[in-house]
A and B are shown apart, each in its own frame.
Chain A
Amino acid sequence: MITDAAPIVTARIGNPQSWTLQSYLDNGGYDGVRKALTMDPSEVQQEVLTANLLGRGGAGFEAGKKWGMLAKGETKYLVINGDESEPCTFKDHMLLEEDPHQIIEGTLICAYAIGASQAFIFVRGEFALGLERLSSAVNEAYAFGAIGRNILGSGFSIDLVVHPGAGAYICGEETALLESLEGKRGYPRDKPPWFPAVKGLYSAPTIVNNVETMSNLPWIVTNGGAAFAALGIGRSTGTRLFSVSGHVKRPANYEIEMAKHTFRDLIFDPKLGGGIRNDNQLKAFVPGGVSAPWFGPDQIDMALDQDAVGKAGSMLGSGSVIAMDDTTCMVRAAWRITRFFHRESCGQCTPCREGGGWLDKIMRRIELGQGRESDLDLLLDVCDNIAPGLGWPPQKTTICVLGPSIPSSITSGIKMFRDEFLVHIKDGRCPFA
């Protein structure tokens, strides 16, 4: 059963011209930031702490807590992550196109709360329409007086720049994003010692938050952090936007109350995923973006709760759930994910750069019927070199967590579908081809 919690971040989507200032204002737009500007910045931070808003970009860190870690300094920056490139995640893309003013309003609230000198919204370069809608919205918001000098008569001034990326998955990682925003190659920075909150953009203290995280702020300020925390269960508060794709009948983004629903709801509820196409059997699903280890049908009743999924050895990650039915070749699926990581590795760390290449090569030959009997051991050995112990969350051997995420699909595949891998090798062909 879907709870009847009203949507927060998608409330205006579907309104005619939902991306325009007029439509936004007609539906309560910019009321949140107006209210925030009458409060003390520390009170705004307190509301977000009370809300226990978890970051929606993948790591799920408490937004209010992160803001509290921001180092003191004359110059502080706010950078919004709209790079959304985790495969099969398509929620921020929708928010950018359908409700850009909500992102701007959230960004303004955050900028005020942390005392930012300037804000940047980094938009994945491929999102042409999103860039155009957001840029128009910035022009409108400026003319309206919500951005610029003395916004909405409050005495607070802030500029906001829409910055286009240029095509690189790794730039979603926050320190690679900052490098890219500085006009460089998107190489993640080693951290510790310096986290962005201490040393970020141009070495100044910087907060990086996701587009969906920002989109929750107007509602939180308007309705209060306690109202947000009343939704969901425990630490998983509010609502969350899930991207459901693959072999479901109704692939789309769905905003539902946190933790009160299960993967079964998401995949099978007639109002959500609607079940598996052709009424086939569900074979496996990816619970949180392709970096996440897979789950099988026996885990379908698990709650969409960040901590529960973490304890079960995977993650809700970017909020993308991918269903695979019984016609799916799991070797091919795992190979495609591996190929993605190999292609997107920035190349700084040997385990990621070389390991990804080896895994891609071995997976390729198994799928194409040239696998060897020793290949499964070899795969696991290479995986173990990248992420020693093959636990979850993976052990850190590299600068960022892209590398240690590479083994997820392969170790899941071998654990859950060992026989299918072996048939590929024994028969010298893909049984699904």
Chain B
Amino acid sequence: MPRLTAENLQRARQLIALYPQPRSALIPILHIVQEQDGWLTPDGMAHAGELLDIDPAEVYGTASFYDMFFTHPVGRHLVSVCTNLACLLNGADELLEHAEARLGVAPGGTTADGQFTLEEVECIAFCGAAPCLAVNWRFFGNIGNEDFDRLVDDLAAGRLADDVPPHGTLNRVRRRVGLSAAAPAPAEDTDAPAQARPS
């Protein structure tokens, strides 16, 4: 069962200690769950609830409000094409159409090899480079059809692995300072196996 690994459990405990009330750490911890497993697994959410002493239904109820959280598996690369106004005015509908044809999936769909999930999103605040998209929330601007094809090829071949970590990894910078000495994880938690991410 993909509960948090020992290292991630430690990170979660440190996060909880940063806030005056533990529940504030829920969303940051869910980001860790999604980083570990690629999506919010039921066990990962249950573990988050245990750490904060809240009901699994409460965890799910919160998670389901937010667009970045997936309660079902998605591809290694989440391709988010913006079609809001500035992008619309600069050809976003055509870009989305091309993306659908190239990946062979409609928005919301995942390619059979699990490499790509396509989604249509609202403004990603990168409008100076419209039309634009994000892959795992790394931004790419002024995207024409050929740029899109090259990007997909590069991602599939792993050529952008440094810039674009797998889906779920949001902030690779750990807080190193001002952490209260978080208690070491108790034994029954530390041996939770690290689950391979769906690929």
A binding-site residues for B, Cβ under 8 Å: 75, 84-90, 92-93, 118, 124-129, 131-132, 135-136, 138-139, 142-143, 147-148, 159, 161-169, 180-186, 202, 243, 245-247, 251-253, 286, 290, 320, 322, 324, 328, 332-333, 336-337, 340, 343-344, 346
Q: For residue A128, which residues in chain B have a CB less than 8 angstroms away from its CB?
A: 136-138, 170-171
Q: Identify the closest chain A residue to B54 (Cβ).
A: A183
- Contact B177–A148 (Cβ < 8 Å): yes
* CB-based nearest A residue for B68: A167
On chain A, the residues within 8 Å of B172 by CB distance are 132
Question: In the complex, A163→B19 CA distance in Å?
Answer: 10
Q: Are B137 and A85 in contact (CB under 8 A)?
A: no
On whether A169 and B138 interact (CB within 8 A), knowing A185-B62, A322-B85, the answer reads: no
19 CB contacts below 8 A, A to B, read A85-B125, A89-B123, A125-B170, A126-B137, A132-B172, A135-B174, A135-B175, A139-B173, A143-B177, A147-B178, A163-B28, A167-B68, A183-B24, A184-B62, A185-B65, A202-B20, A251-B86, A324-B89, A336-B88
Choose from B69, B126, B177 the contact partner of A142 (Cβ within 8 Å): B177
Residue among A90, A161, A286, A324 making CB contact with B128, cutoff 8 Å? A90
Complex contacts, A126 vs chain B, CB 8 Å: 68, 124-125, 134, 137
Given contacts A132-B173, A147-B178, 17 further A-B contacts (CB under 8 A): A86-B123, A87-B123, A90-B126, A90-B127, A128-B137, A132-B171, A136-B173, A147-B177, A166-B27, A168-B66, A183-B26, A246-B85, A246-B86, A252-B128, A290-B84, A322-B89, A336-B84
**Nearest A-chain residue to B28, judged by Cβ:** A164
Cross-chain contact B89 with A93 (CB below 8 angstroms): no
Q: How large is the interface on B (under 10, 10 to 19, 20 to 34, 35 or more residues)?
A: 35 or more
Give 1 or 0 for each of B157-191: 1 = CB within 8 Å of chain A CB. 00000000000001111111110000000000000
Minimal Cβ-Cβ distance residue in A for B170: A128
Which residues 63-90 of B sit at the A interface, judged by CB distance below 8 A?
Answer: 63, 65-69, 83-86, 88-90
Bound-complex Cα distance A343 to B90 (A): 22
A251 and B84 in contact (CB under 8 A), knowing A132-B172, A185-B61?
no
Q: Is B30 interfacial (CB 8 A cutoff)?
A: yes
Which residue from chain B places its CB closest to the CB of A181 in the assembled complex? Answer: B24
Closest Cβ of chain B to A183, distance in Å, is 4
Which of B68, B69, B122, B136 is within 8 Å of A343, CB to CB?
A: B122
Chain B residues lying within 8 Å of A286, measured Cβ to Cβ, are: 85
Smallest CB gap from A168: residue in B: B66
Residues of B within 8 A of A135 (CB): 171, 173-175
Chain A nearest CB: distance from B192 CB in Å?
Answer: 23
CB B178 to nearest CB in A, in angstroms, measures 5
Q: Are B66 and A245 in contact (CB under 8 A)?
A: no
Q: Does B18 contact A (CB under 8 A)?
A: yes
Q: Taking the nearest CB of chain A, how far is it from the CB of B26, in angstroms? A: 4
Among A88, A131, A202, A252, point to the contact of B171 (Cβ < 8 A). Answer: A131
A319 CB to nearest chain B CB (Å): 12
Q: Are B31 and A88 in contact (CB under 8 A)?
A: no
Question: Which 6 pairs show the lowest CB-CB distances between chains A and B?
Answer: A167-B67, A142-B177, A166-B66, A167-B68, A183-B26, A183-B23
Nearest-CB distance from A223 to chain B (Å)? 29
Asked whether A129 lies within 8 Å of B139 as measured between CB atoms, the reply is yes
Residue contact B86 to A87, C-beta cutoff 8 Å: yes
Q: For A183, list chain B residues within 8 Å (CB).
A: 21, 23-27, 52, 62
Question: Is the CB–CB distance between A168 and B65 below 8 Å?
Answer: yes
Contacts of B24 in A (CB 8 A): 163, 181-183
Which partner residue on chain B sits nearest A346 by CB separation? B65
CB neighbours (8 Å) of A324 from chain B are 89
Minimum Cβ distance to chain A for residue B96 (Å) = 12
Q: Which residue of B lies closest to A251 (CB)?
A: B128
